[in-house]
């Protein structure tokens, strides 16, 4: 629409200028035509003041906050995966020191304080009752995962 108005104003100004006789009148017509073109060109800028700038900045601020929250969530998920992997490797290493060959899958969650901590573990492998008791105590003491949040599978069965 703006381009159409500019084109129409330019054509009108050119036609009026061509119809005017040379001299002071033509200079005055050129000045008026130039002002009309200038006003037509700047009209969209004048309409910008009608925008609610506070709303515009508020929308930008909300979008930025949403981006920060998404980034924080992604960071927390990555941190949780790293902690779970490291805790699982720790359990497997300690079990190997006890003569147990196993695999461990650790599950983490975020506390109210924003800390990501191991909350539960699944251990799969062959072990004696005493080895299982020793590993349960190690996991409880070293990682803070209570015995009731530890599950063990021997030969594919959960116990």
51: DSSP letter: S
List the structure tokens of 34. Answer: 């130039």
Cα dihedral value 19, 22, 26, 30, nearest 10: 90
The pLDDT, as a whole number, for residue 87 is 94
d(CA 90, CA 104): 9
d(CA 109, CA 116): 6
pLDDT of amino acid 159: 53
Q: What phi-psi label fits residue 143: left (phi over 0), alpha (psi between -120 and 50 degrees) or beta?
A: alpha
Residue numbers in the chain where pLDDT is lower than 50 = none
Q: What is the pLDDT of residue 158?
A: 55
Give yes or no for a contact between 66 and 90, defined as CB atoms under 8 angstroms apart: no
The pLDDT score that the predictor gives to residue 67 is: 82
Domain 80-158 has CATH 3.30.300.30: yes
The pLDDT value recorded for residue 103 is 95
Smallest Cα–Cα separation from 86: which of 140, 94, 150? 94
What does the domain layout of the chain look like in residue ranges?
A: 2-48, 80-158
* CB 102, CB 123: distance < 8 Å: yes
Please say whether the beta carbons of 118 and 84 come within 8 A: yes
């Amino acid at each position: 629409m703006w381009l159409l108005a500019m084109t129409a104003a330019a054509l009108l100004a050119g036609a009026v200028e061509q119809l005017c006789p040379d001299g002071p009148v033509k200079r005055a017509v050129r000045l008026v035509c130039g002002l009309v073109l200038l006003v037509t060109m700047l009209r969209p800028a004048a309409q910008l003041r009608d925008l609610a700038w506070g709303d515009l900045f508020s929308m930008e601020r909300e979008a930025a906050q949403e981006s920060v929250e998404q980034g924080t969530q992604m960071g927390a998920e990555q941190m949780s995966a790293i902690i779970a992997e490291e805790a699982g490797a720790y359990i497997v290493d300690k079990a190997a020191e006890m003569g147990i060959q196993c695999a461990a899958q650790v599950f983490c969650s975020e506390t109210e304080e924003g800390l990501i901590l191991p909350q539960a573990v699944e251990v799969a492998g062959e072990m004696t009752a005493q080895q299982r008791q020793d590993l349960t105590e190690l996991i409880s003491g070293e990682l803070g995962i209570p015995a009731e949040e530890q599950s063990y599978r021997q030969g594919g069965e959960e116990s």
